[in-house]
Structure formats: structure tokens, C-alpha cells
Amino acid sequence: MLYNSAFMTTKFNVVLLPGDGIGPDVTYEAVRVLEAVEAKLEGVEFAFVEKPCGANEYLRNGDPLPAATVDACRAAHATLLGAMGLPGVRWPSGTEMTPQIDIRETLDLYAGMRPIKLYNQAHSPLKPRPGSIDFVLYRENCEGLFFGRKGAFDPQAPEVRDIMCISRRGAERICRAAFHHAMHRRKQVTLVDKANVLPSMAYFRGIFHEVAKEFPEVKTDAVYVDAASLYLVQRPESFDVLVTENMFGDILSDLAAGLVGGMGMAPSADIGDQHAVFQPSHGTAPDIAGKSIANPIATILSAALMLEWLGHPETIRGARLIEAAVAGLCNDASFATRDLGGSVSTTECGAAIAAAVK
Ligand code: ATP
């Protein structure tokens, strides 16, 4: 993973953006676990400050992403985000509020890193197979097919086009991030594209192969996105690091989450050269909000990614403590929130992980 080794501090300021729906429920469980970790670390402190953001903030003040919130994220060492957006709260044009995407673009968090790991075979809808599911998906976050998302929308127009933008800079940096990570794993990177059909994707593939020359130890292959969907289901254990454009990554990360228990088990990190935001891959899940049945593990594992990214030896140790606690508890298939077939509540799950860390 990309470390931020620039920090020489031991006091880390973390902005919390709980957001909407189940966002606050899962964020506060992650904070509970981080506080348990802090007590185990030598000389490291976390200072949390909560900032408003999301669809509810739009209803309150007319802006889902206040400038003061962005400034706080810029000034902090890292940001932990819950989830944002509500289907019933829309812009006059009809689209949903997506401040979590706006933050990625504003802070230039180009590397969407989504680790997919199976903690218990019972979580997977796949039949038991030799080898375990353990791969990382790198999604380009700032261009690709999301490039045109802010374009004007005219429902009366005779046609509407969305542009896929792949820039040399954007493709180079996301491929490099994936290769760097692979160097610390099983040294294999798979490009997912549609280079047989789209010129932008053929361009992406060319740049991928150029970047690959910088990493001669890493094995590479390239698959079309339709085939990738098939192989992820048929032989997920064969993947180490995957890299792809924005929309393909958006879709494949939900598919990948489904292999290991669903959205409640899929953490993510949005990383740039200066800043990073850590959040579960899932959305606000309005269908289960306010019932204490959301699975907080994705957010808690995102907090672990944050500790790793902070790059201090003690925060890296803290990340390992969280991973070990989650792995240990998940060994027992009866430790399961409702999405995993059990009845452990959101708060019970967070408390159990915090206790295991201690
Ligand atoms: P977005 O587009 O904002 O990412 P989405 O529309 O893809 O959101 P989610 O909010 O991620 O949808 O929810 C998809 C499904 O996964 C829903 O059925 C939801 O209840 C479930 N889900 C999401 N997160 C969790 C969680 N933490 N625990 C349990 N179930 C979850």
C-alpha cells in the first residue's frame, strides 16, 4: 500500500465525516476500535474532530460539502468517512448528492484501493475452494467514465453522451500505485479494461505496459472487464492486484465484496499524494439505517488501512491489531451481523472488536 511516510508526528488529527444513513452507526464503531488501539500503542495519540457533510447537511444548510469541511480534511492527517447520500435528497436536476465523490476529486485522491479478503468460508456464496480470496482492486478515482458526471443534463436533448477520459498522467499514476502495492504482495498485477472496443481503453493498456517496465519483478496480465467479472467468480484466488478505470472499478468492487460476505466486509482507501480518506466501500444503506443491524467491519477495516497509511511504526502495529482482532472473531462463523446470517448488532460487533484489540 502507499504509505504517507512524511509524518514525523505522534499526535494524529483525524477528521470524522459520519454522513448519512448507516454512516454514523459504522463510523462511531470504528472510533470505538481506534480508541482501544490508541490505548495499546506507545506514545501515539488520535484527536478526532467531527465535521458536517452529506445529504442531511444539504437539508440543514443547503450545501452537502461545506468548504470548512474540505479545509478541515486538508489540514488533518487523515479523514475517516462513513457514507453519504440519500435517495430522497436530490439536486434540482434529479441526481443524488455525492459529496464523497466530490471530496476525492477536490483532494485529488486518485487511487481507490479496495482490499478484498475472505475471513470465513461461511461468508462467501461460493463453494469452498482451495486457496483463499485475498486481492486488492485499484480503481482510478478522478477521471474514467465518471469524468462527465458534472455535465449539463437536458432531458429534452435528442441524445446524451458521457465521455470516458483516460489521461496519460491519470493512467500512469494509478498503474504505478497498483504496481507499488504488488511489490509488497504476491507481485502480480492484472489490468481490467475494454481495449478490444474502446480507444481510451487501448490507450490505458499501452500506458499500463509502459509502467510495467519499471517493475520487472511483477508479473502482469490484462483481461477485458466482462471476462474479469467471470473470472472473479470462477477463480477469485488467482488474483493479487487488479487495476482499472473508475466505473469498472465501481462495479467490480461491489461484485468483489459479494465474494467475501457483502458490502459490510469491504473496506476502502482513497489515496492521493497529499491526502487520504478512508471509508467503507458501501453506501448509506437506507434500507437498514437506524436499526443497529449494519455491519461495521468494513469501516473498522478502513480505519486499519488509515493506520497503515499514516506510516508510523506504532500506527502500523495498530493496523495489525485491528486485522488480527477481526480475523480472530470471524474465525467463528457465529460471530456474524445480520448481513452475514447472524444476529450480532452493530454496537455489539464494534464492542467485540474493541475488546479483542485490548
Ligand atoms: P452507493 O451507490 O452510495 O455506493 P448503493 O446504492 O450501492 O450505495 P449500499 O448503500 O452500499 O447501496 O447498499 C447496497 C446493499 O448492501 C443494501 O441492501 C444494503 O442494505 C447492504 N449494505 C450496505 N452496507 C451494509 C453494511 N455495512 N451492513 C450490512 N448491509 C449493508
Give the DSSP letter of residue 77: S
Please report the DSSP string for 147-208 in residue order.
GGGGS---TTSS------B--HHHHHHHHHHHHHHHHTTTSEEEEEE-TTT-HHHHHHHHHH
The residue assigned the cell 495519540 is 45
Ligand 1 atom 13: residue of nearest CA: 285
Determine whether the shortest distance from the Cβ of 258 to ligand 1 is under 6 A: no
> What pairs with residue 138 in β-bridges?
113, 243
Which cell is 330 given? 470471524
Please report the pLDDT score of residue 3 as a whole number.
57
pLDDT at 127 exceeding the cut of 90: no
Rounded-to-10 torsion of CA 235, 236, 238, 240: 170
Please report the pLDDT score of residue 161 as a whole number.
87
Residue 251 Cα to ligand 1 midpoint, Å, equals 13
Determine whether the shortest distance from the Cβ of 263 to ligand 1 is under 6 A: yes
Determine whether the shortest distance from the Cβ of 264 to ligand 1 is under 6 A: yes
Ligand 1 atom 2: residue of nearest CA: 283
Residue 263 Cα to ligand 1 midpoint, Å, equals 6
Q: Where are the alpha helices (DSSP H) in the chain?
A: 23-40, 55-61, 67-75, 99-106, 168-183, 199-212, 225-234, 246-259, 297-310, 313-330, 346-357
Ligand 1, atom nearest to 281 Cα: 4
Residue 215 Cα to ligand 1 midpoint, Å, equals 36
Ligand 1 atom 12: residue of nearest CA: 283
Determine whether the shortest distance from the Cβ of 350 to ligand 1 is under 6 A: no
Q: How far apart are the first and last CA of the chain?
A: 26
Backbone torsion region of residue 39, taken as left when φ is above 0, otherwise alpha when ψ lies between -120 and 50, otherwise beta: alpha
Which cell is 20 given? 448519512
Please report the pLDDT score of residue 95 as a whole number.
82
More confident residue, 119 or 150: 119
Determine whether the shortest distance from the Cβ of 32 to ligand 1 is under 6 A: no
Which cell is 323 given? 486485522
Three-point CA angle 269, 274, 275, nearest 5°: 40
Residue 340 Cα to ligand 1 midpoint, Å, equals 13
Short-list 77, 100, 85, CA closest to 15: 77
pTM for this one?
A: 0.95
Determine whether the shortest distance from the Cβ of 180 to ligand 1 is under 6 A: no
Task: State the helix-helix crossing angle for 297-310 and 23-40, rounded to 10 degrees.
Answer: 50
Cα 173 to Cα 13, 203, 246: the distances in Å are 27, 14, 13
Determine whether the shortest distance from the Cβ of 284 to ligand 1 is under 6 A: yes
Ligand 1 atom 14: residue of nearest CA: 285
Q: For residue range 55-79, what is the model confidence (pLDDT) as tens digits?
A: 999 999 999 999 999 999 999 999 9
Please report the pLDDT score of residue 152 as a whole number.
75
Give the DSSP letter of residue 88: T
> What pairs with residue 221 in β-bridges?
190
Determine whether the shortest distance from the Cβ of 289 to ligand 1 is under 6 A: no
Structural domains present in the chain: 7-109+273-358 (3.40.718.10), 134-149+164-259 (3.40.50)
318 with 40: CB under 8 angstroms? yes
Query: Average pLDDT for residues 281-309, to the nearest whole number?
Result: 96
Give the DSSP letter of residue 51: -
Collapsed DSSP state (helix, strand, coil) of residue 212: helix
Residue 283 Cα to ligand 1 midpoint, Å, equals 5
Query: Average pLDDT for residues 81-96, to the nearest whole number?
Result: 89
Residue 342 Cα to ligand 1 midpoint, Å, equals 17
Backbone torsion region of residue 183, taken as left when φ is above 0, otherwise alpha when ψ lies between -120 and 50, otherwise beta: alpha
Residue 14 Cα to ligand 1 midpoint, Å, equals 25
Q: For residue range 248-273, what is the model confidence (pLDDT) as tens digits?
A: 999 999 999 999 999 999 999 999 99
Query: Average pLDDT for residues 15-25, to the nearest whole number?
Result: 97
User: Could you write out the three-class secondary structure of 256-269?
Assistant: HHHHCCCHHHCEEE
Q: Which residues of 282-314 are buried (b: 16+ CB within 10 A; e: fewer)?
A: bbbbbebbeebbbbbbbbbbbbbbbbbbbbbeb
Ligand 1, atom nearest to 296 Cα: 27
Determine whether the shortest distance from the Cβ of 20 to ligand 1 is under 6 A: no
Which cell is 29 given? 464503531
Query: Average pLDDT for residues 311-322, to the nearest whole number?
Result: 96
